[in-house]
Amino acid sequence: MTYCVAVSTNDGLIFCSDSRTNAGPDILSSYSKMHIYDLGPDCLVVLLSAGNLATTQAINSQIDADLELSEGESLANCEKMNDVARYVARVSREQQEHANTTTGDADVDTSASFIVGGQIRGSDPAIYRIYKAGNFISASEETPYLQIGESKYGKPILDRILSPATGLEDAARCALVSMDSTIKANATVGAPVEVLVYEADSFNANHHVKLGEEDPYLLEIRRAWNEAIQAAFSNLPLFDWEKRTTRSLRAVTDDRTP
Amino acid sequence: MTYCVAVSTNDGLIFCSDSRTNAGPDILSSYSKMHIYDLGPDCLVVLLSAGNLATTQAINSQIDADLELSEGESLANCEKMNDVARYVARVSREQQEHANTTTGDADVDTSASFIVGGQIRGSDPAIYRIYKAGNFISASEETPYLQIGESKYGKPILDRILSPATGLEDAARCALVSMDSTIKANATVGAPVEVLVYEADSFNANHHVKLGEEDPYLLEIRRAWNEAIQAAFSNLPLFDWEKRTTRSLRAVTDDRTP
C-alpha cells in the first residue's frame, strides 16, 4: 500500500509521500513514489504514484522516454497543468492496458493512480488526482488537498487544519502529521517520508527532504504532536455529571474551611 | 455504514455508537445501535451492532426471546463475559445464515458484526469484537479498544490517547472525538451519538447519554477540539530552512540596531 497527499494553498503546493512497497507481508521494500520533473525556468511538475509498482515504473519510463523525443506529446510541451493531467492520464491508461495484456489471467491488480501537480509559467500552480480509470479531479477552495492510497487514517487532521490560507510550512507539517498517523495505523505505509515544498512562481523544487524512520525532525514532530494532543485533551469540556461531582467535592472542601 | 467503538480501561468500560442507517444515499434513517441489557445486580451487558439492519434487528429479537424463555442458553445464564461473546456469536451466525437463505439470490449483503461488553459478578469487565464469521477477539493491554464499521478515520486519535490507565471520562471524550472525526469524514456515519460510561463493579449503566446533531456538549467538544488542534499546530518544531530564515531575519534586525 501507499499514502500520498498534496496540498494547494495560496502560497504554493505541498507534496508528501511514503516509500513502502509490499508484495505480501514478507516482501517489503523501499521505493520513492515522488518524481520531480524540473523542466527549466518555466515549468516544474511533481508526480506521486500509488498502485502496482511495475505499472507505475512503466508509466514513469514512458514519461521519461517522451521527454527525450523531439516530437510528440510530452511534459515539456504541455501548455497548462490541465494538459499535464490529461497527458499523464493517457500514459497511465495505456500502460495499465499493456500491463493487463502482459499479465493475462495471472489475477494481478495492475492498476495505478496518481497525484500530479506543479506550475507552468502563465498560469497558477495546480494539483490533480488521476484515478486508475484515467479521469481526474483538481483540488478546490473547500477541499484544498488530494490523497491517494491508504487515505482514511490521515484525513481528519487535513480536514481540521487546511484551508487555502494555511502557510506553506504549516501545510507541510499538517501533511507530515497526516502521514505519521497513517504509518502508525497501517504497516504497509512507511518511511522514508518525502516532503516537497513548492513556492508559487518560483519554478523550483524549493525544499525537498527525505526523512528516514529515525530522522530527528520526524521523531521530533511525532513527539511534539503526541504531547500537544494529550495536552489538548486535558482541556476538553467536562460531561455534566463531572461538573456536578467537581462542584460537590468543592462544596465538601468549602464546608471544612473554618 | 456505522461506526462503533468500545474502550476497556482499569476503571471500567466505554461504549460509543452512531445512529445513521443507510440503504443508498437517499434512504438515510436513524436507529440506535446500542442495546443495553441490565440483568439485575450482578450483570450488565452492552451490545453495539454494525451491518445489515434487518439482520441485526433479528439478532436482537432472538436475544430478547431467549431471555424470556425459562430454559436454554440466554444472556441471563452466561457465567462469564467470554460465554456472552460465544452466545452472541452463535445467535449472530444463525441469524445471518437464516437471512442468507431468506434473501436467496437477491445479492444483498446480510452480514453483521458486533462489539459486546460488560461485566458479570465474579470476573472483570471485558469487551469483545465479534466478526461476521462468528469468531471473536477481546481487547488487550496494548490495544485497549475495539472498533466496528467505518473504523479508519477515528483510529489515530485512539492510538495516540488511550491506555488502560486512561480515566473513564477521558476515554469517553476520546471516543467522542474519534466519532466526531468519522462523522466529519464520512456521510454515512451520523448523530445522534450514544455514549455509555460503565464503572467497574457497579453493574449499572452509570451514565448513558444520547447526543443529537445540535447537542450543546457535542458542539462544545467539536469547537474545543478544533481550537486545541490548531493551537497544537502552531507549536510544532520548524523545518531547518525556517530556522535559517528566522535567524537571518534576526541578523538583519540586529544589524539595524545601532
Average pLDDT over residues A25-42: 91
Q: How much is the pLDDT for A159? A: 94
CB contact under 8 A, B224 and A237: yes
In the chain, the amino acid numbered A26 is D
Q: Tell me the three state secondary structure of residue A43.
A: strand
A·B CB contacts under 8 A:
115
Q: Tell me the three state secondary structure of residue A170.
A: helix
| CA dist., res. A137 & res. B242, Å (int) | 32
Q: How much is the pLDDT for A258? A: 41
Asked, as a colleague might, if the bond just before A192 is cis with ω within 30 of 0, I would say yes
For residue A211, the chain B residues in CB contact (below 8 A) are: none
- Provide the percentage of residues in chain A whose pLDDT is more than 70: 95
User: Which cell is B163 given?
Assistant: 491506555
> From A207, which residue of chain B is nearest by alpha-carbon distance?
B241
Interface test with B, best of A16, A155, A194 (most B CBs within 10 A): A155
> From A152, which residue of chain B is nearest by alpha-carbon distance?
B153
User: Which cell is A170 given?
Assistant: 504549516
CB contact under 8 A, B153 and A157: no
Q: Which of B152, B221, B233 sits opposite A237 (nearest CB)?
A: B221
β-pair type (B12-17, B20-22):
unpaired
CB contact under 8 A, A156 and B157: yes
Domains along chain B with CATH numbers? 3-213 (3.60.20.10), 219-258 (no CATH)
pLDDT-derived band at B189, boundaries 50, 70, 90: very high
Say if residue A252's pLDDT is above 90: no
CB contact under 8 A, A230 and B154: no
Q: Tell me the three state secondary structure of residue A16.
A: strand
Say if residue A215's pLDDT is above 90: yes
Instruction: Specify the DSSP class assigned to residue A144.
Output: -
Does residue B80 contact residue B72 with C-beta atoms inside 8 Å? no
A221 contact B CB<8A: yes
Q: How much is the pLDDT for B258? A: 41
Hey, what's the torsion of the CAs at A64, A68, A74, A80, to 10 degrees? 100
User: Which cell is A254 given?
Assistant: 468549602
Q: How much is the pLDDT for A248? A: 59
Interface test with A, best of B180, B225, B226, B245 (most A CBs within 10 A): B225
The distance from CA B212 to its chain's CA centroid, rounded to whole angstroms, is 17
Question: A156 CA to chain B: closest CA distance, Å?
Answer: 6
pLDDT tens by residue, B114-137: 999 999 999 999 999 999 999 999
Q: How much is the pLDDT for B50? A: 97
Measured at the CA of B231, the angle between CA B173 and CA B180, to 5 degrees, comes to: 30
Q: Tell me the three state secondary structure of residue B107.
A: coil
CB contact under 8 A, B229 and A232: yes
HEC secondary structure over B191-256: CCEEEEEEECCCCCCCEEEEECCCCHHHHHHHHHHHHHHHHHHHCCCCCHHHHHHHHHHHHHHHHH
B208 contact A CB<8A: no
Altogether, the residues listed in chain A come to a count of 258
Q: Tell me the three state secondary structure of residue B102.
A: helix
B233 contact A CB<8A: yes
Candidates A13, A7, A10, A6; CA nearest to A165 is A10
Candidates A35, A32, A60; CA nearest to A210 is A32
More confident residue, B71 or A18: A18
Average pLDDT, chain B: 93
More confident residue, B244 or A190: A190
| CA dist., res. A254 & res. A235, Å (int) | 25
Does residue B238 contact residue A207 with C-beta atoms inside 8 Å? no
pLDDT-derived band at A257, boundaries 50, 70, 90: very low
Q: Which of B177, B181, B233 sits opposite A170 (nearest CB)?
A: B233
pLDDT tens by residue, A125-152: 999 999 999 999 999 999 999 999 999 9
β-pair type (A43-51, B20-22):
unpaired
CB contact under 8 A, B169 and A232: no
Average pLDDT over residues A174-199: 95
Poorest-confidence range of A210-214, B24-28, B66-70, B179-183? Answer: B24-28
CB contact under 8 A, A232 and B235: no
B219 contact A CB<8A: no
| CA dist., res. A86 & res. A78, Å (int) | 10
Name residues 19-78 of chain A within 8 A of B (Cβ). none
Candidates A256, A212, A225; CA nearest to A18 is A212
More confident residue, A250 or A161: A161
Q: How much is the pLDDT for A61? A: 97
A200 contact B CB<8A: no
A174 contact B CB<8A: yes
Beta strands in B18-79 (DSSP E): 20-22, 28-30, 34-38, 43-51
Average pLDDT over residues B214-240: 94
Average pLDDT, chain A: 93
| CA dist., res. B143 & res. B158, Å (int) | 9
Instruction: Specify the DSSP class assigned to residue A132.
Output: T
Q: Tell me the three state secondary structure of residue B69.
A: coil
End-to-end CA distance of chain B: 67
SS3 content of chain A, % helix, strand, coil (to 5): 40, 25, 35
pLDDT tens by residue, A54-107: 999 999 999 999 999 988 999 999 999 999 999 999 999 999 999 999 998 888
Candidates B149, B165, B162, B73; CA nearest to B112 is B149
Q: How much is the pLDDT for A211? A: 97
Average pLDDT over residues A3-31: 91
